[in-house]
């Protein structure tokens, strides 16, 4: 499953001054997991995913997000790992933050900023608080996040 904007560094890559290979920023990105039934079939799941995909460019570069559909066993495994209780839910850095409630833009920014790994990242997120959703790249961002691509039992 492809993750939007993320390329994991090799485990062997030497870590110097918080750089791991070329992927210093990627390593600091906020990880968001969206637990769904199926973002195509279920409108609520779809708009949970869109709440991430419609984040403005400034925020897209600071986050990675992924759909986990419980229609397949990998998704069920993630649901169990994150101790999900309801669908859909958004987890930020492993915390279920929005269980069965589609968040407001500012709520999402604030909850991600709270969990930022560095003060610099938190500041960048807070700086985007007044930007609002951006819809011109939603389709592209959803595709990059694998939305609707891994929602089959055998996927």
Partner 1 sequence: MSKQLLIDAYRGKRTDSAPWVPYSGVHCAFLINEKADDFLKSPELLAKGVVHTAKQYKADGIPLLFDLSVEASSVGCELKWWEDNVPSVSTHPCSDKTPEQAGLTIPTKDSGRWPTVYEAAKIAKPQLDELDCAMMGLICGPLTLASHLAGVRIFTDVYKHPDFAQEVLTYAGQVCEAAAKFYVEMGCDIIAIVDPVASQIRDTTFHEFVTPHCQPAIKVIHDADLTSSFFICGDCTRVMDEVCKLGTHGFAIDEQLNMNFIRDKAREYGLGFGGNLKLTLSLSLGLISPREDAIVSLAAGGSHGYTFAPG
- The footprint of partner 1 (CB under 8 A) covers 37-44, 46-48, 50-51, 54, 70-71, 73, 76, 85-88, 99-106, 132-133, 135, 138-139, 148, 151-153
Between 65 and 105, CB nearer to partner 1 = 105
Contact (CB, 8 A) for 61 and 133: no
Quote the least distance from Cβ 137 to partner 1, whole Å: 12
Between 77 and 94, CB nearer to partner 1 = 77
Between 25 and 86, CB nearer to partner 1 = 86
Tokens standing for residue 132: 């609002």
CA dist., res. 12 & res. 14, Å (int):
6
Between 26 and 44, CB nearer to partner 1 = 44
Quote the least distance from Cβ 54 to partner 1, whole Å: 5
Between 46 and 146, CB nearer to partner 1 = 46
- Phi, psi angles (nearest 5°) of residue 38: 180, 115
Quote the least distance from Cβ 57 to partner 1, whole Å: 16
Instruction: Give alpha helix (H) positions in 29-118.
Output: 43-53, 57-60, 73-81, 105-114
Neighbours of 31 (CB within 10 A): 17
Quote the least distance from Cβ 19 to partner 1, whole Å: 35
Q: Find, among 73, 71, 40, 72, the residue nearest to 143 by Cα.
A: 40
Quote the least distance from Cβ 29 to partner 1, whole Å: 21
Q: Find, among 130, 143, 124, the residue nearest to 29 by Cα.
A: 124
């Amino acid at each position: 499953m492809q993750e939007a904007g993320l390329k994991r560094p090799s485990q062997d890559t030497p870590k110097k001054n918080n750089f791991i290979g070329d992927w210093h920023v990627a390593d600091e990105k906020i990880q968001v997991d969206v637990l769904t039934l199926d973002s195509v079939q279920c409108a609520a799941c779809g708009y949970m995913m869109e709440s991430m995909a419609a984040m403005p460019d400034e925020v897209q570069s600071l986050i990675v997000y992924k759909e986990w559909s419980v229609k397949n066993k990998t998704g069920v495994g993630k649901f169990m790992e994150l101790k999900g209780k309801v669908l859909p839910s958004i987890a930020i850095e492993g915390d279920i933050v929005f269980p069965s409630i589609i968040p407001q833009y500012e709520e999402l920014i604030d909850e991600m900023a709270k969990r930022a790994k560095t003060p610099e990242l938190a500041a960048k997120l807070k700086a985007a608080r007044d930007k609002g959703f951006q819809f011109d790249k939603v389709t592209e961002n959803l595709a990059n996040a694998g939305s609707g691509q891994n929602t089959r039992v055998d996927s």
